[in-house]
Structure 1
Amino acid sequence: MKPLDSLINEIKALLAEMTDKVTGMISDVIESLVERENEIAENVIKMDEDIDQLDNRIEELCFNALALYEPKAIDLRFIVTTLRIIVDLERIGDYCVDIAEEVIKLNQIPPIKPYIDLPKMANYSSEMVKEAINGFFAKDHKVALKVIKDDDFIDNLNNQILRELLTYIVEDFRKTKGCLSLIFISKNLERIADHATNIAEMVYFISKGENIRHKNYNEIGENGNE
């Protein structure tokens, strides 16, 4: 195996590990909300250090590959795209930490309502991240397009949660603090999905050679399936 191929395989393994840890943080932080377990939220906060270390290590390996082997074509696109993807994954980890800190505050007051839509939103967002990375490894533009379109579901769910929580505030002003915390959590989950979408757009670009940011995704879908 060529040295560059070996290095790329190491980068792929670390990128997969980073993805697993980030999506695990999403699952754990929502569990800490539903189960009202501060210890789980605190562990999520601690996990951010692991994410930062992986981010730094992957970045280091990518720069080494660029400096030592002057990769071309597919290898170059893989390395450059990886450097952009880890920025999104690191930000997702940061959002999980923000949610965890808010959950710890929220757990100090009585629950506002049963949590149904927020776990659904978290699970969907986590799957979007996994699918985007799998699409990257497989260079699958159809998977990327699915992730991009799934973002509409997250946006709609976030808007639904926002409307519901604002209604709770209007009906009982004493619930304002808790509702604002839940609105914050919902917005951060929506941002996580946005970062999954960013990754998917990059995957589409390296697979099809077309920049689809700010375009009509329904039209892109027709072209992408040709």
Structure 2
Amino acid sequence: MGSAPSSSMPNFEARIRTKDGKRFRISYHDLVDHILLLRQVIAQPELTQEGPTLDHFIDDYCNRMARQDMKSKQQQLKLPLETEWIWHVHRLHPLSYHNDCTKQLPSGKLVDKKIRQVLQNSKRKHDAKISFSSINKNFVFVPSIDLRKAVIRQRDFLEKFQNHYLYSFDLKKMDRSHFVHFVQNYVSFMKLAIKKEMIVPTFDIDLIWHTHMRYPSQYQTASIALCGFILDHDDAIESNTLTK
């Protein structure tokens, strides 16, 4: 269940069109990249276990954000898996992520995902001996959510994923119509959203939702077009997510 080169994967898109003519798309490679990340995280339990190792990974992520070392494609290609995972969890809180980036970073802009990293580099390793002594203390990045708790809450989602057929599915065999159906259900879910009211997705919908939130600017634009506002995601209630 490891990574596979993107060239060996089928790639097709599910296109979304709103009533006012706006168009968006989610690609199958986006979903594959997400699934491969989840598989790798499951294979490394320390990524969701509370303790100094997890704290170190969170500190690394925050320091990279403060130094603006995650903006370019080249910088994102060099991210270790552990940092990619922490970044992923932060993006699962789209309103907090937006505010943290726009209010704390010197650029005042979102840090967007620009590559499908897991597909391109499956053997990334974190340097446990990395030193932060050279960091300019004038630049800090402090997420408005408790990232440690947010990461640990993802255990429930990962457990559900392990019981889902896509956990062990040969991703090269996905049928286009099946993927499009996934996305269509997600879009229907988005259209039902009412501001400040909670709706509980099925696991399949939540998987696509997580995939979409990995691309913050795209997600925000599509969410506003489909819902009229940026639909936030509360993983604190993810244990209520339906399994089917």
Common fold by TM > 0.5: no
Query: Structure 1 or 2: larger helix share?
Result: 1
Larger relative contact order, structure 1 or 2 (CA cutoff 8 Å, min sep 6): 2
Tell which structure's C-alpha radius of gyration is larger. Answer: 1
Query: Structure 1 or 2: larger strand share?
Result: 2
TM-score normalized by the length of structure 2: 0.26
